[in-house]
Amino acid sequence: MLNQYPLWKNLMLLAVLLIAIVYAVPNLYPEDPSIQISHDSGELPAGMQVQVENVLNNNALSYKAIEETTLKQLLIRFDDTETQLAAADELKSNLSSQFVVALNLAPAVPDFLRMLSADPMSLGLDLRGGVHFLMQVDMQAAITKALDRYQGDFRSTMRQQKIRYTSVNRVDETLLIKFKDQDNLQQGLQELKDNYRDVLDFDTGNAQQSLTIVASLKELARAELQSFAVQQNITTLRKRVNELGVAEPVIQRQGIERIVVQLPGVQDTARAKELLGATATLEFRLVDEQADAFAAQESGQIPFGNKLYYERSGVPVLLKRRVMLSGDYITDAASGIDQETAGAAVFITLDGKGARLFSEATGENIKRLMAVVFIENKTEYYKDEQGVLTSRTRKVEEVINIARIQDQLGKRFQITGLDSTREARDLALLLRAGALAAPMNIIEERTVGPSLGQQNIDQGKLSVMLGMLLVMVFMVLYYRVFGVVANVALIVNLVMIIAILSMIPGATLTLPGIAGIVLTVGMAVDANVLIFERIREEIRNGNSPQASIHSGYAKALSTIADANVTTLIASVVLFTFGTGPIKGFAVTLSIGIVCSMLTAIMGTRALINIIYGNKKAPQLAI
């Protein structure tokens, strides 16, 4: 017989179909609006679930289930987002600040599918809902930060070269370096020019009388600094959001000093702001062992060159204002357990410059006490006089560790004194992501609610189903049994597209992506139309049914390949040079073209072989 596939080919097609079904099925399970509760210590206290149930029941808030996850978190599932948001407000106001209450969308996929890594496809902001921020980088702060860094470098340079200077002060956007006499001024000017002539201008107009050099940033250096600040902030935000588990974020530059951030699936705007603006970092300072910290606390008079801090136990401690090392030089951080104390620790790795600075600073101060200051912004929730849940951000600076410098420290070392392994993990995460190069202000904030996202999903489904229905009706009326075969292939094609989108890491379905699927639905039967018309032509030429089927598929193959390859090239170009929505459209179109080639040529041929392949002179219903 001319029209029979070998057994292995039929089994291969069947295996592809089964795999596609397995990885497409998770998309039939909707995600549950949920709340995730965790504790700063990393462990939930006893009776936590009962406490949460009491809060929800007392406020008449119904829930589907409460379960403890493997990450020692409490997950509460709800039927709708309205109840979820109301429950989040009540829990935030009733639980202490040690608990983190975060909104979430929990997958409802059965365990046996999750064991196969079969998860639903990621949905974009327009489908899943989420938050959109337009953030402006504070360029003035970036310049100020750079000048402060140069201020410290100047002092170090003068000390190393034994140049006598009176002061180095920043005034607006300039640095004023005052020297003891003219000889030191000339020596200092030459040293500064040798090291900083590419980035700074030095004005010595009044140096004869005032013994002062005025340093300011060059215009090119200022422009490069501002561009670097934006790019560094983008890199930091991307690392931070990715490590904190927000799926498929969009973080990109807009204009000279703005950054667009889109976080699909994030419903808690306050939590998103906290995540984006987090500034956890470390500072290493020397302890003033001569001054009395308790006396300074009581009198309010802080000795010159010192700053009053507090340990976590509330004990005051006086630290030197000069920072030995800041978190800017940290390249890597990992949480772990200290071998001696069995407590939580963070293992720090510095870059080359940081290692040199820290080695010099610790080498000069062996046997002196050094403190590690932990700095972060904390968001606190409270209800105002009208009962509205409100948040405020508070900068926290606390001493987490004081130790005597026993030896010169270098590129790698560890810090201890953290309250829990969770805190160590969070600190290591934010240190790895790095600090923001400059502060940012949110100038535009837009929230796409889950209900609007669901509306877009429903409309997208309707457009796909309506397009499929019209195409399927046409194919059945015009090609009869062969039309039914083409319709089966069309359904399989759609299942394969969904399965591939679910399997590809990083693939996200958006509204333009749905448009690509709708277009693919129309194009998928194009190949079958060419094949079926060729079969009709062969029958009109007097060929036998079996020969007509064979010739129809063989002769139409080159035309189908040419048409689909040219479309695939266009979609690749769109993906390469397009951005955002255009990429989403190109991805689904490309996947649809590849799948339609498989289903329209091999898939329909296999079904036609099953129906007509074993008949000597079949009557073709085409």
How do residues 524-552 score in pLDDT, each as one tens digit? 788 888 888 888 888 888 888 888 888 88
100, β-bridge pairs: 38
Instruction: State if pTM tops 0.75.
Output: no
- Tokens 């990885």 found at: 23
User: Contact 335/424 with Cβ under 8 angstroms?
Assistant: yes
Which of 494, 514, 466, 464 has the alpha carbon at shortest distance from 127?
514
What contacts 198, CB < 8 A, 6 or more positions away? 218, 221
Which of 239, 431, 426, 401 has the alpha carbon at shortest distance from 327?
431
Which of 435, 447, 417, 450 has the alpha carbon at shortest distance from 376?
435
Structure tokens at 395: 């900068």
What contacts 102, CB < 8 A, 6 or more positions away? 35, 36, 37, 38, 268, 271
Half-sphere exposure at residue 160, Cβ-oriented, CA atoms within 13 angstroms: 11
User: Contact 150/213 with Cβ under 8 angstroms?
Assistant: no
Quote the CA–CA distance of 370 and 578 in Å, as a whole number. Answer: 53
What is the length of the chain?
622
Quote the CA–CA distance of 137 and 516 in Å, as a whole number. Answer: 36
- What's the confidence (pLDDT) of residue 22? 92
What the chain holds in terms of domains, given with CATH numbers, is 7-26+449-612 (1.20.1640.10), 32-106 (3.30.70.260), 140-221 (3.30.1360), 281-435 (3.30.1360.200)
Quote the CA–CA distance of 578 and 572 in Å, as a whole number. Answer: 10
For 168, 333, 337, 360, the CA distances from 410, given in Å and listed in that order, are 28, 15, 20, 9
Instruction: For 260, list phi and psi in degrees, rounded to 5.
Output: -95, 130
Instruction: Count CB neighbours of 10 within 10 A.
Output: 14
- DSSP per residue, 408-432: ---SEEEE---S-HHHHHHHHHHHH
What contacts 406, CB < 8 A, 6 or more positions away? 366, 367
Give pLDDT tens digits for 445-492.
777 765 666 677 778 778 888 888 888 898 889 888 998 999 999 999
Distance of CA 20 to the CA centre of its chain: 28
- Tokens 């499929």 found at: 468
- What's the confidence (pLDDT) of residue 488? 92
Quote the CA–CA distance of 272 and 535 in Å, as a whole number. Answer: 59
- What's the confidence (pLDDT) of residue 435? 61
- What's the confidence (pLDDT) of residue 308? 92
Which of 267, 315, 257, 309 has the alpha carbon at shortest distance from 286?
309
Which of 500, 521, 493 has the alpha carbon at shortest distance from 595?
493
State the maximum Cα–Cα separation within the chain, in Å, rounded to a whole number. Answer: 112
What letter would DSSP give residue 84?
A: H
Helix, strand or coil, per DSSP, at residue 218: coil
Helix, strand, coil in percent for the chain, rounding step 5: 50, 25, 25
List, for the chain, all residue ranges whose pLDDT scores fall below the cut of 70.
Answer: 1-2, 40-42, 70-71, 97-98, 207-208, 239-240, 242-248, 265-275, 277-280, 377-383, 388-394, 417-419, 422-423, 426-427, 429-435, 449-454, 506, 579-580, 617
Quote the CA–CA distance of 211 and 227 in Å, as a whole number. Answer: 34
